[in-house]
Amino acid sequence: MMEELIDSKLDAYLLPIVQGSTRLWRRGADCDGYVANFVETEQIMQFHGYTASFLQIRGSMPFLWEQIVDLKYKPKFEIVKRDEAPRIAERHFLGLKNRYGSVIAIDLVNKHGGEGSLNEVYANAMQQISNEDIKYVHFDFHRICGHIHFERLSILYDQISDFLNKNRYLLLNENGEKIEEQSGIVRTNCVDCLDRTNVTQSMIGRKMLEFQLRRIGAFGPEETISFHPNFDDNFKILWANHGDDISTQYTGTPALKGDFVRLGHRTMEGILKDGWNALARYYLNNFCDGTRQDAIDLVHGHFMVSESRDMTPQPQRGLEAVASLRIALSVVSVGFLFALMSLRKGLLTAPDFLASLSM
């Protein structure tokens, strides 16, 4: 009976507000603390006259850094004016505090390798500006969760649960009266603010929706969304589509591993789609997104025209003419190899992943 009631009477949806930019051509922050890839996502629920919402944000790491497009699949990270990082991060987080209240920053990048340098600068900057209202948590997503062990996000949840319990969510009763108010915001980032960020935000969104449903009496004390299979499936699809929408704007393709998010396991169709999307992303990032970013900047009033700019097309040399194709084919081949490895692991560990969805 409750299953039918939940399916027929509960509406849940996401309202994203996205700042336009492309994936590799806009990174980090400007000197005033405004960041690239900034997205405000409001998860809204309506049930039996009650309306509840929970707001989250994502955005690029708030200091000066960049990736210069150079035909590599993953261009090198370049940190600009490293000593300015604390000042720029402080401007960014003071702006967030004035707008949203208390802030907890969740940093999902790797601690080692190319991403390690970004994590080091970010962590050092946050150490200088953290206080009771601005907190920082690093969670090495790839090392802890890998590609399939998303149930280990419970480790992260344990680190932020006090913040979520304290800062709550918005809840209106049947008369439109406010009975709960959200007084803080979770800010999540990885490098692209896409796949890792979306998985993490969906976990937090799931927890907060369960809190809201218990608060209005729709759920029992121990009841979770996973108790209701249809509702659970729709919730996963909701967040998977949300990730696809953001990824399409940033990269020109849907998010990778979409079948994994929706179904809990990898499929051959999903592997083929990922291979195609990897090739499409490489081509778009290197040959289309520069012009697209110029168009976005022009619409926003930020495009700068240089009178000395040489617009004469330069002839491609022999190596340059074929380099992009060879690199693209190599990228896709490696992508298929890792996808097949993920498929094998997914078949072996699917029960662990399905258990994670009931967190």
For residue 330, what are the CA distances in angstroms to 23, 222, 251, 319? 21, 49, 19, 16
If you average pLDDT over residues 343-354, what whole number do you get? 51
- Among 109-113, 173-177, 182-186, 193-197, name the one with the lowest average pLDDT: 193-197
The band of 356, judged by pLDDT with boundaries at 50, 70 and 90, is very low
The band of 7, judged by pLDDT with boundaries at 50, 70 and 90, is low
The band of 293, judged by pLDDT with boundaries at 50, 70 and 90, is confident
pLDDT in tens, 123-145: 999 999 999 999 999 999 999 99
In the predicted model, is pLDDT for residue 58 greater than 90? yes
pLDDT in tens, 142-153: 999 987 788 899
> CB of 33 within 8 A of CB of 294?
no
pLDDT in tens, 73-114: 889 999 999 999 999 999 999 999 999 999 999 999 999 999
- Give the number of other CB atoms < 10 A from CB of residue 262: 17
If you average pLDDT over residues 3-18, what whole number do you get? 61
Q: Which two tokens stand for residue 349?
A: 């560990």
Average pLDDT, the chain: 84
Q: What is the pTM of this model?
A: 0.81
In the predicted model, is pLDDT for residue 266 greater than 70? no
In the predicted model, is pLDDT for residue 357 greater than 50? no
Instruction: Identify the CA nearest to 187 among candidates 134, 142, 261.
Output: 134
In the predicted model, is pLDDT for residue 299 greater than 80? no
> CB of 101 within 8 A of CB of 75?
no
